Amino acid sequence: MASTETPTHCPYCALQCGMKLRPAAGAAVAEVVERTDFPVNRGALCGKGRTAPAVLAAGARLTEPLVRDAVTGKLEPAGWDEALALVAGRLGGTRAEHGADAVGVFGGGGLTNEKAYTLGKFARVVLGTSQIDYNGRFCMSSAAAAHQRAFGLDRGLPFPLEDVSRTGCVILVGSNLAETMPPALRYLTELRENGGRLIVIDPRRTRTAEQADLHLAPRPGTDLALALGMLHLVVAEGRVDEEFVRTRTSGWDGARAGAMAHWPELVERLTGVPVPLLREAVEMFCGAGEGMVLTARGPEQQAKGTDTVGAWINFCLATGRAGRPLSGYGCLTGQGNGQGGREHGQKADQLPGYRKLTDPEARRHVAEVWGVDPGSLPGPGRSAYELLDALGRDVRSLLVMGSNPVVSAPRAGHIEERLRSLDFLVVADVVLSETAALADVVLPVTQWAEETGTMTSLEGRVLLRRQALTPPPGVRSDLEVLHALAGLLGHGKGFPADPEEVFDELRRASAGGPADYAGISYARIVAEDGVFWPCPDEDHAGTPRLFLERFATDDGLARFVPVTHRPAAEETDADYPVVLTTGRVVSHYQSGAQTRRVAELNAAAPGPFVELHPRLAERLGVSEGDPVAVTSRRGRAEAPARITTAIRQDTVFMPFHWPGEGRANTLTNPALDPVSRMPEYKVCAVRVEAAG
Ligand SMILES: Nc1nc2c(c(=O)[nH]1)N[C@H]1C(S)=C(S)[C@@H](COP(=O)(O)OP(=O)(O)OC[C@H]3O[C@@H](n4cnc5c(=O)[nH]c(N)nc54)[C@H](O)[C@@H]3O)O[C@H]1N2
Ligand SMILES: Nc1nc2c(c(=O)[nH]1)N[C@H]1C(S)=C(S)[C@@H](COP(=O)(O)OP(=O)(O)OC[C@H]3O[C@@H](n4cnc5c(=O)[nH]c(N)nc54)[C@H](O)[C@@H]3O)O[C@H]1N2
Ligand code: SF4
Ligand SMILES: [Mo]
């Protein structure tokens, strides 16, 4: 491997910050070097990105396959040939005995486009199963569904982040950007320096909310009422952009009726946000010529997340803040390849290019690229939680690639039980995650700096991560694993292990689809700092800004969707009187499988905690650091108290990065959104007590 610096991107979140890697001697593996020429982060990184190479160091990662010993019940080192033969035999065996749909596949939004594409193809062509979904279902599926419904296309941000600093007003709903994408905070700072305004909606006064001109702190799970209440005021105060509504949208009457049923006093009662603040927010937003609404997991991870995002889109459309320069609705996608991961076929209902699995023309196109009969492609399968819930029953064997559901799935105690009840579990991972620890076979794979592949950032910008390091001798790439398994299962062709070869096939498979990558090549990505899809041919410049002329619906009009508020799936009562919400801290990533292996990050954030208001703490007789027990209808968790006035008195917050007794997901409610099948991570009812 070259000893010079390799320009690449961070292994973690959807911002995909640019960085350079310089191989280092000894245990450090590599040194992260600032890369100021990449426009999105201009050199800035958070602590996770800066320390990322530590996860690839010998002590942290897996270096040989592990197979569970039938006698001792322990995972023991094994050779690749033995491990792969066992996996192929058991997956093939399950299929022969119980049918193709008894084999499940669970992917991840951290996988490169090449891996996500190959995993979807492997499931549908080699295994012939419909039972594939991925952790992105837990992430942005509600925003994706709402995007599709309203705009006919789902790309997280329809504009580059740089537009955020030049608009007039941003409403940021349930995003704690300052902790979840720290270098992106710059765009909000610049917005305010340019005279723009920032409104943050979050039940907690987060580090992000502290930057705001106006902070609204609704009760968790009431965002839909809040958005409708603001739209009500837009109508009542005569602030509707009638011309825009007439020329660029359809369906306003239904949406308008939904909003009119949510008068301000009712909304105050539901959300806890005082009417004068609602009015101030509407005035601030409508008073600034251009405006954006950006949502993240706060309003989306609810059993009504799709309608909630729909209500915010209605708000943007009614005020004419969409499909115009420097205005629009956007979702801040989360995982490194959260965007690309949902475009190329690891989602239960999708084929590459963001095509629908139920669309005969899409099936024909993709089947032709794959060289199979369209009739052989299975139909849509179960969504992520429903798939995990079916383990050990309808689904008997499971391949996990790029997720750690033992920590991250809702009602995790139950899901852990389901995973244990499988006939056969195989996990491909970089580290021995809590899920890998339950497996019959663990396959150690390369990741990030050890391999090449493309990622699509939250802006819809397709980026190239280039191999910068030589992987340890005992590991293989996910693509090599799928290539070998396909071969053992009778598909010696069609599953190349070379990423660029896969990408060229992906380009053809996506051609003509909504997420069209046909004109994107590795060479172009490098030359142009990434290429925004859709990019249908090599002469096309890519599409940084969507919808300026028309929306992606058949008639080119954006669709209003009629929505009305409804309560959370589980409301507080005498037994469970407090609301639990969950989320993230700056130093850990997701299930923590990777970041909990980095000393510097553990020092900064050593373990779980329960954030609560001093009034609630006083009522419980709890002081800072005391152990607190949190109990829901799903189970009990325990963690030290962190007392702060930054949270509502009726709400507690737990980050979900840890397994064990402080696991937040022991408590969470798997109630699903009817459209997106997103679980309600952000709201459930709990009892909080001093533990001991
Ligand atoms: N440090 C770090 N960064 C990350 C990640 C990580 O694990 N750690 N993960 C990445 C991924 S995959 C994702 S999806 C993103 C997530 O990024 P964010 O969405 O910013 O992260 P969260 O902390 O889950 O939720 C954001 C905020 O929602 C608020 N919230 C809770 N309930 C409600 C509610 O009912 N309504 C509203 N309006 N707000 C509510 C919480 O108080 C929290 O401050 O972060 C990405 N970046
Ligand atoms: N309570 C609560 N729970 C939540 C959330 C919440 O806000 N609250 N947020 C949800 C959201 S938004 C998300 S995105 C999920 C994420 O939750 P998970 O799906 O558990 O995400 P990670 O922890 O990133 O898990 C990725 C796993 O894949 C491994 N890995 C990384 N790169 C590769 C690779 O290239 N190949 C392979 N084979 N493995 C790799 C990592 O080591 C890790 O073990 O959590 C969800 N869970
Ligand atoms: S903000 Fe996201 S992409 Fe940037 S360094 Fe941190 S984790 Fe990596
Ligand atoms: Mo996510």
Please state the rounded mean pLDDT for residues 572-578: 98
Mean pLDDT, the chain, rounded, equals: 97
CATH topology of domain 6-56: N-terminal domain of TfIIb (2.20.25)
Q: What sign does the CA torsion over 241, 243, 249, 254 have?
A: positive
> Minimal CA–CA distance to 170: which of 202, 197, 193, 206?
197
- Distance from Cα 139 to the centre of ligand 4, integer Å: 4
Please state the rounded mean pLDDT for residues 231-245: 98
Q: State the burial class of residue 374 (Cβ atoms within 10 Å of its Cβ: 0-12, 13-18, 19+).
A: middle
Whether residue 16 has its Cβ less than 6 Å from ligand 3? yes
Q: Against a cut of 0.95, is the pTM above it?
A: yes
User: 578-690: what CATH class?
Assistant: mainly beta
Answer for the pair 202, 244: CB distance below 8 angstroms, yes or no: no
289-346: pLDDT as tens digits? 999 999 999 999 999 999 999 999 999 999 999 999 999 999 999 999 999 999 999 9
- Distance from Cα 575 to the centre of ligand 2, integer Å: 32
Whether residue 48 has its Cβ less than 6 Å from ligand 3? yes
> Minimal CA–CA distance to 132: which of 400, 442, 375, 428?
400
Structure tokens at 492: 């010696």
Cα radius of gyration (the chain): 24
Answer for the pair 239, 256: CB distance below 8 angstroms, yes or no: no
Nearest ligand by distance to the CA of 161: 3
What pLDDT was estimated at residue 28? 78
Please state the rounded mean pLDDT for residues 216-240: 98
Q: What atom in ligand 3 is closest to the CA of residue 50? A: 5
pLDDT value at 2 more than 60: no
What pLDDT was estimated at residue 555? 98
What pLDDT was estimated at residue 420? 98
> Which of 10, 135, 401, 668 gets mutated to test ligand 2 (max ligand atoms within 8 A of its CB)?
135
What pLDDT was estimated at residue 3? 55
The structural domains of the chain, with segments of one domain joined by +, span 6-56, 66-137+338-445+476-496, 141-332, 578-690
Residue 501 phi/psi, 5-degree rounding, is -65, -40
What pLDDT was estimated at residue 312? 98
State percent of the chain over pLDDT 70: 99
58 pLDDT band (50/70/90 cuts)? Answer: confident
User: 66-137+338-445+476-496: what CATH class?
Assistant: alpha beta
By the CB criterion, residues less than 5 angstroms from ion ligand 4 are 139, 334
pLDDT value at 1 more than 90: no
484-502: pLDDT as tens digits? 999 999 999 999 999 999 9
23-46: pLDDT as tens digits? 987 777 899 999 999 999 999 999
431-456: pLDDT as tens digits? 999 999 999 999 999 999 999 999 99
Answer for the pair 563, 261: CB distance below 8 angstroms, yes or no: no
Q: What sign does the CA torsion over 294, 297, 298, 301 have?
A: positive
pLDDT value at 152 more than 50: yes
Q: What atom in ligand 1 is closest to the CA of residue 209? A: 44
**Within 10 Å of residue 591's Cβ, how many Cβ atoms?**
26
- Distance from Cα 51 to the centre of ligand 3, integer Å: 10
d(CA 188, CA 208): 9
Whether residue 295 has its Cβ less than 6 Å from ligand 1? no
Q: How many Cα atoms sit within 13 Å of 187 on the Cβ side?
A: 24
d(CA 460, CA 331): 11
Structure tokens at 416: 């852990």
Kindly state the greatest CA–CA separation across the chain.
75
DSSP states of 50-109: HTGGGGGSTTTS--S-EEE-TTT-SEEE--HHHHHHHHHHHHHHHHHHH-GGGEEEEE-T
Please state the rounded mean pLDDT for residues 378-407: 98
Q: What atom in ligand 3 is closest to the CA of residue 336? A: 3
Residue 551 phi/psi, 5-degree rounding, is -85, 170
DSSP states of 570-601: S---SSS-EEEEEE--TT--TTSTTGGG-HHH
Whether residue 10 has its Cβ less than 6 Å from ligand 3? yes
- Distance from Cα 546 to the centre of ligand 1, integer Å: 25
Second-level CATH architecture of 141-332: 3-Layer(aba) Sandwich (3.40)
Q: Whose CA is nearest to atom 30 of ligand 1?
A: 298
State percent of the chain over pLDDT 90: 98
Whether residue 297 has its Cβ less than 6 Å from ligand 2? yes
Please state the rounded mean pLDDT for residues 647-676: 98
Nearest ligand by distance to the CA of 580: 1
Q: Whose CA is nearest to atom 20 of ligand 2?
A: 404
